[in-house]
Amino acid sequence: MVERFCKLAIAPSTVHNEPRPPSPVTPTSDNANWTPGFSRILVLLALSIFINYIDRANLAIAAPLLKDEVGISASQLGILLSAFFWTYSCCQLLSGWLVEHLDVKWVFAAGFFLWSSATAVTGIVSSFFLLLTVRVVLGLGESVAFPSYSRIMTLHCPDGRRGVANSMIATGMALGPAFGFLFGGEVVAYYGWRPFFIGLGLGCLLWLVPWVWWMPSSKSAPVPTQSNGPSILEILQQRSAWGTCFCLFGVNYYHYFAVTWLPFYLVRERHYSIAQMGKIGCGVFLMTAISASICGWLADHWVRAGGTPTLVRKTFVVSGVTGVGIFLAGSVLAPGNLSVLLLLLAGLSFGLSTSNFWVITQRLAGPEASGRWTGFQNFFGNLAGVVGPTVTGFLLERTGHFLLPILIVSFFLWVGALSWIFVVGPIEPVQWKSSKPPVVVNTPTYSV
């Protein structure tokens, strides 16, 4: 069924028929391996997204206590939880441009320093306005993450290995909230939420030491001439670009509900303690991490065995997103332990999609446009972070229950699945009309 839909989804306008110029990525074979030095960089990238998602989820972990201490309403809490996404979304286009025109090593380092500092400062502010301000700064810093990941992957990772590489990012993305829910829940329960923020923000700054030491300069990487690279307008002329945007909006609507409102839902509506909430939330994201790590390897193995990227990547993402919507809707209607089981299955299904999601964008865009395509896609998709937490807060204040907000999450997930099938075309590199054959300079060397 998925294969049939994938064939129907191929649009002649999405991929041009002219021969594609040679890829500027040194390891072009699908069966090529990355260098041992890049393996170390990949571990740092996975660790960075792990930290990234602890930092964006920590306010939700503290929300039940913070709401009472600061004295804010449910709707104000929704605004506070969504404030991160205001700058995170709006700065994606700028971040996509920066990582393609400046050294991605230093762009990412600057963003990491900014978001870790904002996390530490959160622990010392006391008013709604100041909390809102530091969350906005946090979003500004974290906006560099995914454009940087895509830029690095397309430059240094062969296509046939990107499922595994991106699954490491997806695993870190899931383990961050899992660790935050479990460890953060315990710390917040016993010591309060302020020490958690301060210690986390200051401690994570140590990540910058190996990054600056190990990551090579992108200026020494083989890159195409950027003066005639595809513009945002040319990217938006691709039907698949819009398709990936709609998909990301649906995926993020779920993910940001889980990151921002799931702790509050488990404590206030399901009546679990803070410690129990931490364990359940950890379980949901841990299931995503396990699933993502396995499915990334399976997808790459299928591609190397002869499966087309269109069939392989779409099969995983469509199945995963559809399953999340089904299990999540069931969880809000089910009693007690069954509800927890369905939440865990939703987390498991989410890993199917996250392990292959960004591989699709990276293959479609290529090194010529990976930063800008990812930036625009993240800008559009993360509007779900602006809308979702706020809408959930207002609906919760008016209805007193999570039924309608969770059903809306499932609806957007299913819309995203349909977009993968019918809007996104074949998963093949776009031949950009404005691209020239790349000018190759020295290949970066990684110290081992």
**Measured between alpha carbons, how far is 354 from 296 in angstroms, rounded to an integer?**
9
Q: Which 3 state secondary structure label does DSSP give 188?
A: helix
Compute the average pLDDT of residues 367-379.
84
Of 23, 10, 6, which is closest to residue 365 (Cα–Cα)? 23
pLDDT band at 318 (very low <50, low <70, confident <90, very high): very high
User: Which pLDDT score is estimated for 436?
Assistant: 53
| Tokens read off for 382 | 């993360």
pLDDT in tens, 140-174: 999 999 889 888 887 777 777 777 888 888 888 88
0.75 exceeded by pTM: no
**CA distance linking residue 211 with residue 96, whole number of Å:** 20
With H, G, I as helix, E, B as strand and everything else as coil, classify residue 300: helix
Distance from the first to the final alpha carbon of the chain: 46
Asked if residue 218 has pLDDT above 70, the reply is no
What CATH number has the domain spanning 2-6+35-213+231-422? 1.20.1250.20
Looking at per-residue confidence, does 113 or 337 come out higher?
113
Residue 44 has pLDDT above 90, yes or no: yes
Instruction: Kindly provide the b/e burial profile for residues 265-288, where b requires at least 16 CB atoms within 10 angstroms of the residue's own CB.
Output: bbbbebebebebbbbbbbbbbbbb
Nearest residue to 146 (alpha-carbon basis) of 160, 163, 118, 166:
166
Which residues lie below 8 Å from residue 209, measured CB to CB, with a gap of 6+? none
Q: Which residues, other chains included, contact 267 with Cβ-Cβ below 8 Å and sequence gap of 6+? A: 64, 273, 274, 277
pLDDT tens, 285-296? 889 989 988 988
Residues 23-35: what's their mean pLDDT?
47
> Which sequence spans correspond to the domains of the chain?
2-6+35-213+231-422
Assign 219 a pLDDT band (cuts: 50, 70, 90): low
Tokens of 18: 């002219």
